Chains A and B, each alone.
Chain A
Amino acid sequence: MAAAQKLYPRGTVKRIVKAHSNRSVSKNADILIFLDYMLFMQELMREASIQSRKSGEKNISANTVRKVTEKTLRKFQG
């Protein structure tokens, strides 16, 4: 897996969420948020790869990602 020495910058994630929500984030909640983000990325890339495969592209193109983004975001609406 991606068990590099650092998976993600915790401070940054915290700041992002804090900025968007105007609320402070408790000490370890950012881990879960990032977990959710990983799930989102997984879903996004899955959808994108499916989409690109359907359209016969070899690589995932930016347009494919853009097409799939809204669908995936809607799936991740709480």
Chain B
Amino acid sequence: MSTSTPNARGRRSPFGTATPSGETTLTGLQRLPIHTRYPLTPSRLVTATTPGTQRSASRYTPRPRGVGAPATPHVIRARQQRAANTPGRDRRRSGRVQRETTFDILRNLGKALAPVSQPIRSSPQEKPEPIEEPIDEFEQLDNEPEIERPRLSLPIQESEEEGDEVSPEMNPPRMSLAFAEEDMDMTYRSVEYPRDASVRDRDRLSMMSRATGRISGDFDETRLESDDADETGIVGEDDEAEDTMMSGGDFDRGGETEDLGRFHFDLNFPSPAAAPLEYPADEDMNDMEGFELSTAEQPQAPSDDDDDDVGGDFGFGLEFPPAASPSESPGIVGGGLRDEAIPAQRKQKKISRHGIPVPNLPAGVVKKLATRFARSGAGSRAKINKATLAAIEQASSWYFEQASQDLAAYSKHAGRKTIDESDVTTLLRRQRHINKTTTVFSLAQKHLPKELQQDMRLSMPP
């Protein structure tokens, strides 16, 4: 560096400064003339002398070549051409050079402005005081919205509810539950609920009514949950098909709202504890109420059984009748609807709404799938008992009903008589299983064995 300074002072200062840089003569040409020809001035000298400006070892490295300083532009030109012939070196060097030029320019500028920069330094020293205050304000501001946010978007409450697991079945929470979960699909879908709510509810109602008709055998299990005996089920099945259906419907509806019932029960549990002395009287009273309610609505054998069971447990005596009465009314409605679906009540041979007998998916297949997915969900516990399997089968038969109705709608819309692959693809897309990133094929690859994949590929255009 010290060598360069005298050069810079000399007449050929531009090239002189360039010489130590050797191969960076290019930059010397591009940059230095502008800078240096004006400034033979001390400022330029300063910049040249300061080691920072001439930063980079690259300026020194080319030394061996640049020893003979290119005095004339011709020489420089020749050097450049030679460098162009050896592209590798040129590239490397040019990269460096370009980087350095910008840096150097900025650095020179910085040096030139060095006296000005001192006051700038002083200003931040003044600033810290005001900065501290804003920091506090920011913290305050940050604190405030963070407190409010959870209130606005329910997910946290929802997660609490999940933790409590008190009322898992309420509808409004479900939306935020979907948000809480990671799947985007679910959020979209749940957001879309309200739009189709009316239509879907209608469908669902009909489905539930038919479904209840089908479950009629299953409600034993539901009732086990509420400490009710199996007697009703047995009696009903033995006695009259119609009445069983009614009662079955009722209890299935109860099964839907059963959690609500339990919920109330839990809430009001303290009340009998608060008045333990009056407990027998209460029990009688409640029994009486239960009798009145149920006899008023249904003077049938199953209701009597119900009341007996209720009498057995005073907790349910307190809360079950109110929970059951609302659930009974839809049950009756369902009974009204069920007249259409009466042919569907036999368990083995269900009949679709089109009057075609529906076969069941073999239990083995369902069980295999269920165990597989249950296992993937949670470690080693993959036990699925009979009741669970029955519930899963029920769910899958509902699923097939729903899916095939959707598929029929799609194919009808397309003006086709048959359900096509494209219809199923549409269904998958509308279920958000297929999107930009996932195709049918990737899904199939994930889930289906190869032979089926092959068949699928054959039938589908890519």
The residues of A with any CB-CB pair to B shorter than 8 Å are: 1-4, 7-9, 12-13, 15-29, 31-42, 44-46, 48-51, 53-55, 58-67, 69-78
Contacts and interface: CB of A to CB of B under 8 A. Distances in A.
11 contacts: A16-B358, A23-B417, A23-B419, A28-B460, A35-B444, A36-B427, A49-B374, A73-B399, A75-B186, A76-B402, A78-B403
A74 B369 contact: no
Question: Chain B interface mostly helix, strand, loop or mixed?
Answer: helix
B11 interface: no
Contacts of B267: none
Interface stretch (B130-138, B273-281, B301-309, B449-457): B449-457
A55 B298 CA distance: 34
B359 A44 contact: no
A28 B356 contact: no
Question: Chain A interface mostly helix, strand, loop or mixed?
Answer: helix
Given A19-B354, A37-B399, A39-B433, A59 B407 contact: no
Contacts of B378: 49, 53
Contact of B406 (A12, A22, A71, A77): A77
Contacts of B448: 7, 31, 34-35, 38
A54 B408 CA distance: 38
B143 interface: no
Given A15-B359, A23-B411, A66 B391 contact: yes
B407 A46 contact: no
A39 B447 contact: yes
B3 interface: no
Interface in B168-190: 168-169, 174, 185-186, 189
A28 B168 contact: no
Contacts of B163: 54
A31 B398 contact: no
A31 B373 CA distance: 19
Contacts of A17: 400, 403-404, 407, 419
